[in-house]
Amino acid sequence: MKNVAFNRRQWLKQGALFTAGLAALPEVLAAPRLVLLAPESPYGLNEMTDHLRVPGIKLNANENPYGISPKARQAIMESLTDGNRYGFSKSDGEQLRAKIAEKDGVAKESVLLTAGSSEVLGMVGTYLAFSGKDRGNVVFPWPTFSLMADHFEKLGTAVVKVPLTPDKLHDLPAMLAKVNRKTKMVYICNPNNPTGTLLAPATLKAFCQQVAKDVHVMVDEAYIDFLNPPDNESMASLVATYPKLIISRTFSKIYAMAGLRVGYALAHPDTVKALEPFRHGGGLVISNTSLAAALASIQDTDFARMSKDKNAEARAYTQAELTKMGLKVVPSHGNFLYFDLAKYPSDFIKDMAQRGLMVRQWDDYGTKWGRVSIGTLPEMQAFATAMKQVMPS
Ligand SMILES: Cc1ncc(COP(=O)(O)O)c(C=O)c1O
């Protein structure tokens, strides 16, 4: 009982702190919007509130804050009529593959639809870990999006992590130096999460052409749609020639469909065929509603442009605010910013959570870095206000 009372007291105290934080922030924070408190973070307000929904701003998962496209919403409503039918009874999947092929300049047979690009990373991981005589090794830049590396580790494949350069770029020569006869794959994340850094397409292309002759290369292009030409050149043009090159893409970011789960792989048709048996649920995991939403979204270029423009505006504002506070900020090409927290004296995640803001923190080879996802401009103004409150002067 004593323990419960203590927790309750602590909870009330934390709640008061949280409310005080809210009062200090612009109105947007007080909007009755519910988010799960720091689901990705080991920190919540305390263990009792971790699982509770509290009002706040969710800037910890690189989500698109503008909701799904109105056309996708409409398509979802219409697709509900066929909710009793399996996806293969309808043509949406095939239509979507054709639209993707047209947009990305590949053959339709090079497109493999998945439930989010996480499914691509998982499938390719399982396929490669169990290929050949042993589990081998894989080479990753570090830090990067960790899902695939974690998957390989669980399967017993050795994950070789190569630190980014001081500018937080992939260190391609150092990664190449780690490739040996047991290497099954090299992972590239461009732009990289969490740093937002970008490899120039020509540099990456030369690397893919060199490595993918012998070793699989996985290029994660989750954030490519936030780029402007010429930076937005995909490696898709190489898949017809390099069967060991696989590209992952997602509808979660520019199309704001993170909760609807649609992604895809682009690869040589033979590679697509080899990967198909590894699709979860035999390819039935993408719901009809999600397929309909993706098909509507890919055709809604106005929505994608709006997402991209608003992200660029709010990102520039946030970068300028953090720089004014004396923080080192890595120039970002994605919908998030990575900033140096070396001088932060206490628990950054907790301090921000108490002000209603969910953000992330990285231990980058012993140095502390923060990552904030780019929300709407008013959300980023609230973030800047909270940062000014928590940063030591
Ligand atoms: C680099 C990168 N790849 C893949 C994903 C997975 O996204 P999804 O499974 O929603 O497509 C994410 C999600 O944040 C990511 O940052």
Q: What is the domain-level CATH number for residue 88?
A: 3.40.640.10
Mean of per-residue pLDDT scores for the chain: 88
CA dihedral 83, 85, 91, 95 (to 10 degrees): 40
Name beta bridge partners: 229.
none
Determine the atom of ligand 1 nearest the C-alpha atom of 119.
9
Binding pocket residue ranges, ligand 1, CB within 6 Å: 62, 116-118, 145, 189, 193, 220, 222, 250, 252, 258, 263
Confidence of residue 55 (pLDDT cuts 50, 70, 90): low
| Per-residue pLDDT, 282 | 77
Domain end: 277, 299, 321, which one?
A: 299
Alpha-carbon distances, residue 59 vs 48, 219, 375 (angstroms): 22, 25, 7
Q: How far apart are CA 188 and CA 190, in angstroms?
A: 6
Say whether pLDDT at 235 is over 50: yes
Pair 25, 163 in one domain:
no
- pLDDT tens digits, residue range 156-188? 999 999 999 999 999 999 999 999 999 999 999
Note whether residue 10 is domain-resident. no
307-314 contact pairs (CB < 8 A, 24+): 307/64, 307/66, 307/254, 307/255, 307/256, 308/225, 308/226, 308/254, 310/66, 310/376, 310/377, 311/64, 311/226, 311/335, 311/374, 312/226, 313/377, 314/374, 314/375, 314/376, 314/377, 314/379, 314/380
Say whether pLDDT at 236 is over 80: yes
As for how many domains the chain has, the answer is 2
Say whether pLDDT at 31 is over 50: no
Say whether pLDDT at 14 is over 70: no
Domain end: 280, 299, 318, which one?
A: 299
Q: How far is the CA of 226 from the centre of ligand 1 (A)?
A: 14
Note whether residue 114 is domain-resident. yes
Report, as an integer, the average pLDDT of 318-325: 97
pTM of the model: 0.88
CATH number reported for the structural domain that contains residue 356 in this entry: 3.90.1150.10
**Which residue would you say has higher pLDDT here, 289 or 284?**
289
Note whether residue 230 is domain-resident. yes
Least confident of 25-29, 90-94, 138-142, 300-304: 25-29
Q: How far is the CA of 13 from the centre of ligand 1 (A)?
A: 36
Note whether residue 9 is domain-resident. no
Q: Radius of gyration (Cα) for the chain, nearest Å?
A: 22
Residue identified by tokens 């007080």 is: 30
Pair 35, 158 in one domain:
no
Pair 36, 80 in one domain:
no
Domain end: 243, 264, 299, which one?
A: 299
Note whether residue 6 is domain-resident. no
| Per-residue pLDDT, 91 | 86
Pair 95, 198 in one domain:
yes
Q: How far apart are CA 108 and CA 202, in angstroms?
A: 25
Report, as an integer, the average pLDDT of 252-264: 97
Pair 282, 137 in one domain:
yes
Pair 368, 226 in one domain:
no
Pair 30, 86 in one domain:
no
Say whether pLDDT at 27 is over 80: no
Q: How far is the CA of 115 from the centre of ligand 1 (A)?
A: 11
Determine the atom of ligand 1 nearest the C-alpha atom of 261.
10
Cis bond before residue 191 (omega within 30° of 0): yes
Beta pairing, strands 360-364 & 357-358 = unpaired
Say whether pLDDT at 38 is over 50: no
Q: How far is the CA of 113 from the centre of ligand 1 (A)?
A: 15
Note whether residue 209 is domain-resident. yes
Report, as an integer, the average pLDDT of 7-32: 43
Question: What percentage of the chain exceeds 90 in pLDDT?
Answer: 79
Report, as an integer, the average pLDDT of 30-58: 46
Pair 41, 165 in one domain:
no
Pair 351, 253 in one domain:
no
| Per-residue pLDDT, 88 | 77
Q: How far apart are CA 346 and CA 19, in angstroms?
A: 20
Note whether residue 257 is domain-resident. yes
Pair 53, 96 in one domain:
no
Question: Rounded to an integer, what is the distance from CA 143 to the centroid of its chain?
Answer: 13
Q: How far apart are CA 221 and CA 103, in angstroms?
A: 14
Say whether pLDDT at 24 is over 80: no
Say whether pLDDT at 5 is over 70: no
Helix (H, G, I), strand (E, B) or coil at 100: helix
Helix (H, G, I), strand (E, B) or coil at 97: helix
Cβ atoms of 224 and 254 closer than 8 Å: no
Name beta bridge partners: 247.
219, 266
Phi, psi of 339 (to 5 degrees): -135, 150
Pair 265, 372 in one domain:
no
Report, as an integer, the average pLDDT of 217-234: 97
Q: Which range of residues forms the domain containing residue 119?
A: 70-299
Say whether pLDDT at 41 is over 70: no
Note whether residue 3 is domain-resident. no
Pair 178, 211 in one domain:
yes
